[in-house]
Amino acid sequence: MSFTIFRIELKLHVMNRNRRDFLKSASLVSAGAVALNSCQPATSRPDRNVDYSVLDEILEKPVLKKELFPDPVIIDTLELLRFENNFICRVRSTDGATGISVGNNAQLQSVWPVFNVRLQPFFPGKDARDLESLFEELYVYKSNYKLQNLALWVPWATIEFALLDMLGRIAGKSIGQLIGRIHNPEIAVYQANNYRGKSAEESLEGIKEYVDRSQAKAVKFKVGIVCFRRWNLRVSSLPGLRAPPPENLSVGEEVHRRLFFWR
């Protein structure tokens, strides 16, 4: 017992000494910082009387335009439908309004139980107009904040898009109009190349075929490799991986090329 008490007293003594040394060092550092700051001209100091009231007012405003929905939109059912490895979320209100969203199939194949067990039970009976506050509550529901990765965010986003789709159908508005203003009614897209593991020549033939189908005005063409689905595939086994890109990269006069070289 005496040995234990001695160890505790010794530990407290060391802690107090370290604390005194720390406070002494911190005081010296603070004094030095004050001295350095006092040497600076007054014009270099930031304005400490900045008025953030306008920014605070903006942050307090809700994102969803609730004024578009005079009546409650009570969630009746929320489902995750599956056909083979394809997933669709469907939400229905007590008034019969519906909304759907297409999930990330590659991720939901693994994390669909998170949707059914941790997220779906929270929503029935809730007012979809309170979307922002609902998600704040959902974050702590069943301690969901502890997941903090794709396992949570993928099914979460799937639900959010379905709810926004339902609200958009009720209001006769696009999702963009529910949360803001539409600045660009049309967007430009490019045709991507997903032929990883093939030579540049083979990839070029494949992307030409897709451009003919989609009539895309731009392409993204990868030369090299980013990742493998089969990790045992050796880089040296890929023909033309380190070779320069082919000279005949033409995919049409009106198609812009974006070349990415991975070494």
Q: What pTM does this model have?
A: 0.61
Residue predicted with more confidence, 241 or 145? 145
Q: Kindly indicate the confidence band of residue 212, based on its pLDDT and cuts at 50, 70 and 90.
A: confident
- Model confidence pLDDT, tens digit, residues 33-71: 444 444 455 555 555 778 888 888 888 888 999 999 999
Biggest alpha carbon distance in the chain?
90
The pLDDT assigned to 24 comes to 53
Position 218 scores a pLDDT of 81
261 bridge partner residues: 223
Closest alpha carbon to 248 in 204, 210, 218: 204
Report how far residue 124's alpha carbon sits from residue 76's, in angstroms, rounded to the nearest whole number.
5
The confidence band for 178, taking pLDDT boundaries of 50, 70 and 90, is very high
- pLDDT(143) > 80: yes
Q: What are 76-132's pLDDT values in tens digits?
A: 999 999 999 999 999 999 999 999 999 999 999 999 999 999 999 999 999 999 999
187-193: long-range contacts (C-beta < 8 A, 24 or more apart)? 188/217, 188/218, 189/216, 189/218, 190/216, 190/217, 190/218, 190/219, 190/220, 190/256, 190/258, 191/216, 191/218, 191/219, 191/220, 192/219, 192/220, 193/219, 193/220, 193/221, 193/222
As a whole number, the mean pLDDT across the chain is 75
Q: What confidence score (pLDDT) does residue 21 get?
A: 58
Q: With cut-offs at 50, 70 and 90, classify the pLDDT of residue 153.
A: very high
- Of 4-8, 52-56, 254-258, the poorest mean pLDDT is in 4-8
Show the tokens assigned to 134: 């609902």
Is pLDDT at 220 greater than 80 in this prediction?
no
Averaged pLDDT for residues 148-173:
95
Residue 152 has what DSSP assignment? H
pLDDT higher than 60, residue 173: yes
Look at residue 223 and tell me whether its pLDDT is greater than 60: no
